[in-house]
Amino acid sequence: MNKVFLIAKREIMERFGNRSFKWLMILGPLLILGLVYLFLSSTTSTKKNWKVLIMDKNEIFDGKLTASRPQNLSFDFINAFVEYDDFAKDEKYKDYDLAVQINEKIVSNKHVIISYKEYPPENIQRHLVYYVERRLEEIMVEQFTDLSVSKFRDIKQSLQFNLKDANDPRNEKSTTASWVGFGFGILIILFVFMFGMTILRSVAREKSNRIVEVLLSSVKARQLLTGKVLGIGFSALIQFTAWVVIIGFGLYVFRLTLFPDMFSAGFVADEMAKEGAQNPLSNQSPFVELIYSQIHYTNMLIFFTLFFLGGYLFYGSFFAMIGASMGSESDGQQFVIPITLLLFLAVLSGYYTVYYPGTTLSEWIGFIPFTSPMVMMVELSNGFEDGSAWKLFLSLAILFISAFFMMRIAGRIYKNGILRFNHRLKLNMLLKWTKK
């Protein structure tokens, strides 16, 4: 076991002695932060004017909402409720972007539904929340209490706002959460391919310059392979940790400077203080709320790490087999192509799961080791129904058991092929080596 740790330590030191590894540790997360910034900037709504329909059937608000409003936000009242489908498709509502439902029991249930045709930026949401709450405060102070408005605000309960897509009120077509899992899955596939190729190149280099002959005089072939895979895998985890820290810090800086929390009390107070000049509202990407409020990073990162480790050991065994058994560089390239296609198939399976979750095929490919890391990250981002979380742990168990058996097979091929040179690599030769 000491020999395995020594070999692993040697691989780790070799990775950190590589300048490209250190540059990737810094530039990789900076590139991702740059892409995140460009994405959030490019998805910022360019809509100048937002027209809001206030559906107040019982005329609780008496046709009034606010004395002053920003230049690009206007309101109309109607003493009726409009169905989602009618609001989305009826010709007489085509000019409206948002609809606010003031239900008859709003004073007691504190519930407001905002339906939209185009998802409103956070600042638009914030202003709607502010105006509706302030108007309700005026009504309650006038009808139910002798307190002043300012004192009533200290004891009042906030309203609960629920946003619904007028074209999809039940949220059956939304794939936003799925794409979060797809992004995490892409990172798993990227890391697996990067460090799988590192295993292949390391094994092939030691074989071609005959260093492996010296190493095998001191350690067993299985120990050499295990130490190499563990060392490179630990290097991958260190790099992943560095990425998480840098990206996390970058997102924190973005939140403080470029994409502030528009629902925080301090921000609302500052913005509303400026409203005397009726300044037009600036827009912010709707994906800001997704990144900062809706992703459960703890769960995603824990299972990202577990599925990466399982996927790395599973696919890494294939890369180790190729590196040890190839008789020439062209042989290695020939057998890398099928593995690359398998990784591409994993990406396609994740894409399929985004658009067709819950199908029989998406459930089955979630248990297949070749595709499970990608598929299960998508499923995890969507959340599991009560009593179905066992699928996640079963998929993990199958992945690690498969990785264990593949590592054993890789060890046999490594032992039989590492000292063979100038031979023509064939599939039947690999099968014969797995039995020895």
Q: What is the pLDDT of residues 105-146, one digit of tens each?
A: 776 777 888 888 877 776 777 777 778 877 777 777 766 666
Name which of 91, 89, 88, 66 is nearest 77 in CA terms: 66
The owner of tokens 């062209």 is 330
Residue 37, C-beta contacts closer than 8 angstroms, at least 6 positions apart: 254, 258
How confident is the model over 150-179, as pLDDT tens digits? Answer: 666 555 666 777 777 777 666 545 566 788
pLDDT value, residue 332: 61
3-class DSSP state of 152:
helix
**pLDDT at residue 401, rounded to an integer:** 95
User: Residue 118: how many CA atoms within 13 Å on its side-chain side?
Assistant: 18
For residue 55, give the 3-state DSSP assignment: strand
Contact between 378 and 406 (Cβ < 8 Å): no
Low-confidence ranges of the chain (pLDDT < 70): 1, 43-48, 66-71, 107, 122, 142-158, 168-176, 260-287, 289-290, 293-294, 327-333, 422-429, 435-436
What is the Cα–Cα distance from 359 to 362, expressed in whole angstroms? Answer: 5
Does residue 244 sit in helix, strand or coil? helix
How crowded is the C-beta side of 305, counted as CA atoms within 13 Å?
13
Strands 98-101 and 111-116, bridge-based pairing: antiparallel
**How many angstroms separate the Cα of 144 from the Cα of each of 57, 60, 154, 422?**
21, 14, 16, 92
Q: How many CB atoms lie within 10 A of CB 165?
A: 18
pLDDT value, residue 56: 82
> Residue 87 in contact with residue 166, Cβ under 8 Å?
yes
Collapsed DSSP state (helix, strand, coil) of residue 164: strand
Q: 126: which residues sit within 8 A by CB, 6+ positions away?
A: 262, 263, 268, 271
Cα–Cα distance measured from residue 102 to residue 136, given in angstroms and rounded to the nearest whole number: 10
CA 388/CA 157 separation, integer angstroms: 36
DSSP state of 305: H
pTM across the whole model: 0.73
